[in-house]
Amino acid sequence: MTKKLDEIDWLKLLKVDPIKFKAWFNLVEEKKVDELTVKFYSLKFTNDKPDYEGFIRYLYNQVESYVFEEIEIKEIREDGDNPQEKALSYFGDIDPISDGSYGELILYLFVEAILQAPLVVHKVSQTYNDNDQVKGSDGIFIGNINDKPTLLIGESKMRNSFNKCVKDALESLSRYINTPEAIERELCVAKKHLSRDLNNLDKETLDLIYKSFRTKQPEFNEYDLCYPAFLMYKEDKINEMLSKKLPDIEKEINTFLSSLKKKRIKYITKSLPKTNDITLEFFMMPVNNVNDFRKLCYDVFHENKV
């Protein structure tokens, strides 16, 4: 009997430990409005401030498994090279203010850890030199969500303005929402860059996945569509509150972020394009300064200054 997509065990392809990832965050608020789910996260504190440095070092340690499949890591070690150093070379030595790779990495971690959908195609696999910035989605994932096989096409944005962050994310996602031709083009490219970790599956399953990436085939129609997005944005008042050295500053900031949920969600829903039979998952991460976060990523990833 022919296998169906909902019979595939996607969980065995996950590489992110959800417990370790979630340990970095407080889930401040979660709200569902029709097809949209918005989750607001804040980093946990160390020494009365968000532990940005600790989290970025965690990101640094996830780079190897993000960039390379298990078989590639094995081959690199057999060749006498260091997989971590080789993986870091894919994060181009470019201006961190414009580098999208850090957001793509965090998107991957959120989708694998929270939605339990493994990454099957990402930009790194299509990058051939240090300065490449590949157009297209920031990651393609597949998983069983609500007991249904789901294809997830992800985007990440890191901006110092909440409004611009949402606007840019929705502009990117709108390329695919209700536009079958754009999805077809995306999956046509994706078929050439499927993760080699899929080779751990049997041939029948591999053939099924490959066929499901052809939008005119019935296998594609087995999927629900989901658009996950990671949005990091500057929340101006965080710096002001940190400077006051309040006795329980972490709780105070989380209470403040929670108080903004209605306003933030209203702006997102007002900006959403009309959608049919899809879901959206937004992972929101307010910080005190996005550019400072980006620069700290660069320092840790490229110069190990911190």
Q: 19-28, 96-105, 170-179, 188-197 — which one is most confidently predicted on average?
A: 19-28
Cα(108)–Cα(30) distance, integer angstroms: 19
Instruction: Note the pLDDT tens digit of each residue in 293-302.
Output: 999 999 999 8
For residue 128, what pLDDT band results from cuts at 50, 70 and 90? Answer: very low
Which residues pair with residue 278 across a beta bridge?
225
Which residues pair with residue 25 across a beta bridge?
43
pLDDT the model gives residue 123: 60
Angle CA 135–141–143, to nearest 5: 165
Cα(92)–Cα(129) distance, integer angstroms: 8
Dmax (CA) of the chain: 66
pLDDT the model gives residue 227: 96
- Residue 246: what are its φ and ψ, rounded to 5°? -65, 155
Model's pTM, two decimal places? 0.93
Which residues pair with residue 233 across a beta bridge?
159, 286
H/E stretch holding 164: helix 162-174
Radius of gyration of the chain (CA): 19
Question: Taking the domains of the chain in order of start, what are their residue ranges?
Answer: 5-303
C-beta separation of 230 from 110 below 8 A: yes
Amino acid at 27: L
Sheet with 25-33: strands ordered across: 25-33, 36-43, 278-287, 224-234, 148-159, 139-145, 119-121
Angle CA 68–23–120, to nearest 5: 25
**Whole-number mean pLDDT of the chain?**
90
Does residue 41 surpass a pLDDT of 60? yes
